[in-house]
Structure formats: structure tokens, C-alpha cells
Amino acid sequence: MPMPGRLRFLAEARHLQIAALSVLFAINFLFIDFGAKPLASALAIATSLATQAACAWWFGLKHLDLRSPLITGLSLSLLLRADEPWLHALAGVLAILSKFVIRHDDKHVFNPAGFAIVALLFLSDHVWISPGQWGTGVWFAALVAFAAILVLRAARRPDIAIFFLTSHAALLIARALWLGDSLAIPLHQLQSGSLLIFAFFMISDPRTSPDARLGRFIFAFAVALAAHWLAFSMQMRPALYIALIALSPFTLLIDHILPARRFAWTVPVERFPMRKALQGFRLSHFLRKTGAHFS
């Protein structure tokens, strides 16, 4: 039975994600010290939208959909910190350009905001991310988890966030057991608000995660493992983001070995019975007909 228009609007994953990120942004802006700055945030959002519009025109897209670049702009405002506002403008441009330029088999390789953050971390000394800023409060964890469940249910890809958090938790607990540390330490590390935002709004991006469920599990575990090594052996603080971006190209390989239904924001789930997807049909030719490109 088709949903009424308003409900369908609310059930669209990107609308829920925009709402969730807006709430987080408002909290960050109003209550978090050393948080988002108005000019930098406005520039990140504006350049994300403008770059999407410019690329839509350049690449001849039939529809200009500003929802995804708004998500990218909000993510950059939330996560990226810089001492010069123009770096946020550059981040918006880099993020959206990466989506249009770094593609394979009609799928962009990197999460746009994640790519821009990591690119700038390597290109400039003047950007950083603040992993401690959200603290380890239970109320915040509950809020993020609640918002994430709504978004990921609507996007029908909740599994990768669960896979990642489970892998990450297992690695942290294994490390604590090896070191002989109290379990209070991994529990504290797992309560990090930044970790939850990464799990629910970054690695779980359905457009850049592997198509097959097994592929998503392998990818999530690999990111957790790489992040663990970067954080504890290399002492890198943005370890999660660097691990995600460094491993994202492997999603192409995983998709090749484990083909499955390609995710598209706008395709109703009914058209793709899960059973068929799991049987390993490559549906990319069909997806092309749906017009769900570049979103």
C-alpha cells in the first residue's frame, strides 16, 4: 500500500539524516565549547550546494538534488575544525568534486565529507578534528543512536554500523584484556560521542559501502582494524577517518568479488527482493534505468 505523501517524505532516509545532523549541529553550535563556527559552517554548506549545482550542470544531470550536498555540508560543519574559514569552503568543494570525479562503475568511491576531511588533514596543517568534543555522556549516545536507527532503518543499511561498532568494541576489549587493563577503559572509549557519529553517519553511508552484506562486514572489520593500528601504533587522532578513506577503494574490489544489489536513495525496496540480491545478481544495468545517479 503506498504511503501518504507526508509520511513518505519523512520516511526518506536523507530527510531523516538532514534532521538528525541539524539537531547535532545545533547542539554543537550552542552547547559544545570549541565547536562549530557560524562563518565556517555557512561556507561549508554553501560551497557544497554550489559545487553540486555546478557539477550537475557540467555533467549534464537531469535533476539537481541538493539533499546529499546539504548532508555533506552539515557533516563538514560538525566534524571539521580549522583556523581559517576558507578551509571549510575548500572542504565543501573537495567533498562534492570527489563524488563526481572519483567514480567507478557508476558509484562514487569515497564518502564526500570523509574524503574532504582526510584530504585537508594531509594537505594543510591548519585543520583538525576534535575527537573529544562530544564527551562520553550517556544522553548523547542515546540521542545519536536513536537518530541513527531512524536514518539507517529508512536507508535499509543499518548492518554496517552494527558490524563496525561490534568489531571496534571487540578490538578494544581484546586490547584491554591483553594489557591487563580494567574493562572500564574500553567502555569509556566506546562511549565516545565522536565514535558514534562516525559509526552512524560516516561509515554507514549507503552510497559508498559495499553492496553485499558480507562485503559490508569485511569492510567494517577492516576499517576498525586499520583505525586501531593507526590510533595505538601510529598515535593518529583522526584514525577512524583516515582508516575509512584509505580503505574505501577496496569497496570496488569487494563489490567485484561479492556482487549484490546496488544501493540507491530513490529506489523503493519492493522492486528488489532481498532473496534475489543475495543470490548475487548484478543489477547495475537495471539501476542505470532508475536514474539514481550522483545522489
Partner 1 sequence: MTRKTASRLKAGVAAGALLALAALAGPAWAFCGFYVAQADAKLFNKSSKVVLARDGQKTAITMANDYQGDVKEFAVVIPVPTFIERKQIGVVDMPTIDHLDAFTAPRLVEYHDDDPCAPRQPMPVAMARSGFSPHLLAYADASGRYRGVTIEATYDVGEYDVSILSARESDGLVNWLTDNGYRIPAGAEAVLGSYIKQNMRFFVAKVNLDRMNLIGAGYLRPLQVRYDTAKFMLPLRLGTVNADGPQDLIIYALTRNGRVEITNYRTVKLPTDVDVPLYVKDEFGKFYKALFERAVARENMRAVFVEYAWDMGWCDPCAAKPMTFRELVELGARWIETDEDVPFGLRGAGGAGAFVTRLHVRYDAAHFPEDLVFMETHDRENFQGRYVLRHPWRGNATCPAADAYRASLQARFRLQAHNLSFLTGWDAKDIATRMEAAGQRAR
Q: Could you give phi then psi for residue 230, rounded to 5 degrees?
A: -65, -40
- List 1, 30, 179, 269, residue binding partner 1 (CB under 8 A): 179
| Alpha-helix residue ranges (DSSP H) falling in 80-158 | 85-101, 112-123, 138-155
* CA 265/CA 151 separation, integer angstroms: 12
Assess 181 for contact with partner 1 (CB under 8 A). Answer: yes
Assess 130 for contact with partner 1 (CB under 8 A). Answer: yes
User: Residue 200 corresponds to which cell in the numbers above?
Assistant: 552512524
- The SS3 of residue 86 is helix
- List 166, 189, 284, 290, residue binding partner 1 (CB under 8 A): 189
Q: Could you give phi then psi for residue 279, rounded to 5 degrees?
A: -75, -5
- List 29, 128, 221, 250, residue binding partner 1 (CB under 8 A): 128
Q: Please, which of residues 222-261 interact with partner 1 by CB under 8 A?
A: 234-235, 237
Task: Using the minimum distance from each CB to partner 1, give the nearer residue, 33 or 270.
Answer: 33
Residue 45 C-beta: closest distance to partner 1, Å: 21
* Helix/strand/coil percentages in the chain, nearest 5: 65, 5, 30
Size of the site for partner 1 (CB under 8 A): 31
Q: Please, which of residues 12-71 interact with partner 1 by CB under 8 A?
A: 33-34
Assess 169 for contact with partner 1 (CB under 8 A). Answer: no
Task: Using the minimum distance from each CB to partner 1, give the nearer residue, 49 or 119.
Answer: 119
- The SS3 of residue 197 is helix
- Region of 104-112, 174-182, 197-205, 278-286 interacting with partner 1 (CB under 8 A): 174-182
Residues 6 or more apart whose CB falls under 8 angstroms from that of 57 comprise: none
Residue 127 β-bridge partners: 82
Q: Which residues bind partner 1 (CB under 8 A)?
A: 33-34, 81-83, 125-128, 130-137, 178-182, 184-185, 187-189, 192, 234-235, 237
